[in-house]
Amino acid sequence: MCTSEFVQAHNGRDYGRQVLVDHGLFLTTSFLKEKGESSGYGGDWAVRLDANNERSGLSDAEESTTHLFFYIADETGNPITMGSYEPSSRGSVLLASGLHEEIGGWELYLRSEDNLEIHRAGFKSMSMHNLSDLVQQAVATNAMQSGNLNLPDITEDSSNIMVYQVSIKSPAQIDIVFLSGSASKSPVIEERISKLTGPMLSDRLETKQKEFEERYDQIFNVNNKVDSKELSVGRAALSSLLGGVGYFYGQSKIALPKGFTQKNGDKYISYWPAALYTAVPSRSFFPRGFLWDEGFHQRWDVHISMDIIGHWLDLLNSDGWIPREQILGAEALSKVPEEFVLQYPSNGNPPTLFLAIRDLASGIHAQQFSDEEAEKISSFLERAYIRLNAWFQWFNSTQSGKYEGTFYWHGRDNITTKELNPKTLTSGLDDYPRASHPNDEERHVDLRCWMLLATNCICSIAEFLKMDSALEKDYYKMSNQLSDFGTLNKLHLDDTIGAYFDYGNHTEKVRMRWFDVKDNNNMRREFLRGTLQAPQLQLVPHVGYVSLFPFMMGTIPPESWVLEKQLNLISNTSILWTDYGLRSLSRTSSIYMKRNTEHDPPYWRGAIWINMNYMVLSALHHYAHKDGPYSGRAKELYDKLRSNLIRNIVQNYDATGFFWENYDQKDKGKGKGARSFTGWTSLIVLIMAESYPTLHR
């Protein structure tokens, strides 16, 4: 069996539980956090490790030893004092202690009733992301010198990293306790350790698990909507998302204008040192904040949501721009290809935070929150308003098109010959086909829809806060302009098939092929784009997710013939419909499943993505409950699509133990891309709960 990770519970605050499965070893890790009167800043926490082997029935002679490694480090460089490393069955053993300016004195303890062997090593280093290399090197060196494959029980002077190797024979149970504000030994210390280890910890973990399940049922109310297996997968999806919420600190790298460099040769300047509290799409593959992903990550705890949104809005610069990827700190940087590190101040990202902010505002109107929560949300919206306005104005001034009321994603490469269709990373839909030859005549229908969402959201906040200045009047005017159905159709609708398209300088006659290129009297072969027909200004005829944005945002009147056409596109198996969800690009598209470069496989050119399927479900649910000739058809498609998505994600999770970045629309809905992708794929919880964003004023 390959290594799998099953996060069973996480409440985002003080409790979590996961199971790691690795070649027959089942390692369950649970954590509990609390802050008592004697605790320092941040409180105390405990981690319980339960190790079981599926071959635990073997005799002692046949049992294999399992080696578990864990570490504690002080990132500020403060030295850590090594404690004892002799395990004791009579109580807890002090492993390490130290002093930190924010939490005071701290101590780390281990307690276990089982026979353990403990080894350790101490390092002085500020490069936490290279810790695995340090450990492997220490183990290898010790093996060559002593013949023992373990840590050497040696610490460097002033070590700020302590690594422990605990060797066990399963089944075994280990409790590890961290105490903050523990300056000296006292009866209170023993009491705090006792509460976080042994039988008392067992009882408290069980209580926390029940509280988590009860809160999940209360918020999502899915018990009568899904079966027991689907219920457990939904809990795992939410828990994985919350378990991926983290705190980052560092400086983004901001690209200088083309042709500019610093004296040292750098083509970037550093953003100010900043903190970011955020969820991440994948802890193992994408351990950093993504602006447009984050709008899909909210809905569990309004206080956590406001904290996260506030951190993102605090990254706004004086122009109202937010870097779309937050690569803060050496560890996050180590996981990012160099081409994606620099952030460009001219480039945006879908303002999906407005989805979450709109839900906060509409939730108050619908009296979904307690009086205390409503008051805190009101205060948050009032403080956030000025930043939201600045963010919106940045979009309105920098991403506008050539004509009033039109918008396009800036930042596309208009001179490249190495891409079949120049990428639009800023849209979030990466290689989704746009106009073949980018220029300032482009009009992107998805960005127009995001701008409508943003104006509607700001209008809702203004109504709630009873604002009535000239600025708010401008927002109302713009909202009315962007929601005008006739203008939308004039700019983006193909009347023949009833689909919405981008507009730009485009030709379908482009191909990638090998060319012989002469370079300094040497010939080499390059895989380049050839344009076989001159482009012209036209609608870009590629049906896919972008075509559905006016539908997804609910801008089509429920009685319009265009709505029927949209439902036909969605349900057509030759275009978007599969038994596993809607594919991102129609099978009839000339770029369907085509590589963009020699080494760049298709990404948003056919695969099934859960965030866009969620938005389509939201629209289907909306139209199914609106009076009109197509409500019945919308309801039928809604039920089928929802069922297909739930079934496929649950089956993939059951078979692999993972949630996936996207899903294959050909190979029986098989998970693709990054695994342990628990960002917007966790929207399956909201799909189960039939909980969708509010898109209208």
Tokens of 530: 């050839």
Contact 551, 566 (CB under 8 A): yes
Pairing label, strands 117-123, 154-155: parallel
Mean pLDDT per 10-residue segment, the chain (697 residues): 72 94 89 88 93 66 77 93 70 90 91 91 90 93 92 93 92 94 74 93 97 94 90 95 94 92 91 95 91 92 95 96 93 87 94 94 88 94 95 96 94 94 96 97 98 94 86 92 96 96 97 88 90 97 98 97 98 97 97 94 97 98 96 98 98 94 95 93 96 79
* Beta-carbon count within 10 A of 337 CB: 6
Contact 208, 32 (CB under 8 A): yes
Site of tokens 């909201």? 686
- Kindly give the residue spans of alpha helices, DSSP state H, lying in 346-419: 353-365, 371-398
Q: Is the peptide bond before 171 cis (omega within 30 degrees of 0)?
A: yes
CATH architecture of the domain 4-220 equals Distorted Sandwich (2.70)
- Kindly give the residue spans of alpha helices, DSSP state H, lying in 514-667: 549-552, 561-571, 610-624, 631-656
Beta bridge partners of 110: 93, 176
Site of tokens 């199971």? 19
Residue 258 backbone phi and psi in degrees, to 5: -55, 130
CA 593 to chain centre: 25
Beta bridge partners of 28: 19, 50
Beta bridge partners of 105: 99
Residue 67 host element (H or E) = strand 66-73
Q: What is the DSSP letter of 63?
A: P
Residue 646 backbone phi and psi in degrees, to 5: -60, -50
Q: pTM for this structure?
A: 0.93
Contact 62, 69 (CB under 8 A): no
- 367, 371, 372, 378: CA torsion to nearest 10: 60
Site of tokens 């996260």? 308
Site of tokens 């009076």? 627
Q: Distance (Å, rounded) from C-alpha 682 to C-alpha 281?
A: 10
Q: Give pLDDT tens digits for 418-429.
A: 999 999 999 999
Residues labelled catalytic: 430, 661
Pairing label, strands 325-326, 660-663: unpaired
Report the pLDDT value the prediction gives residue 61, as an integer from 0 to 100.
Answer: 43
Q: Give pLDDT tens digits for 132-176.
A: 999 999 999 999 999 888 999 999 999 999 999 999 988 999 999
Report the pLDDT value the prediction gives residue 86, as an integer from 0 to 100.
Answer: 66
* 3-state percent helix, strand, coil for the chain, nearest multiple of 5: 35, 25, 40
Report the pLDDT value the prediction gives residue 65, as an integer from 0 to 100.
Answer: 86
- Kindly give the residue spans of alpha helices, DSSP state H, lying in 196-340: 198-220, 228-243, 291-294, 302-313, 330-333
Report the pLDDT value the prediction gives residue 55, as an integer from 0 to 100.
Answer: 64
Report the chain's terminal Cα–Cα distance, integer Å: 51
Side-chain half-sphere of 511: how many Cα atoms within 13 Å? 6
Helix (H, G, I), strand (E, B) or coil at 56: coil
Helix (H, G, I), strand (E, B) or coil at 537: strand
Q: Is 490 exposed, middle or buried (0-12, 13-18, 19+ CB in 10 A)?
A: exposed
HEC-encoded secondary structure of 377-390: HHHHHHHHHHHHHH
Tokens of 239: 């828990």
Contact 479, 455 (CB under 8 A): yes
Report the pLDDT value the prediction gives residue 1, as an integer from 0 to 100.
Answer: 40
696: left (phi over 0), alpha (psi -120 to 50) or beta: beta
Q: Distance (Å, rounded) from C-alpha 439 to C-alpha 639?
A: 41
Report the pLDDT value the prediction gives residue 130, as an integer from 0 to 100.
Answer: 86
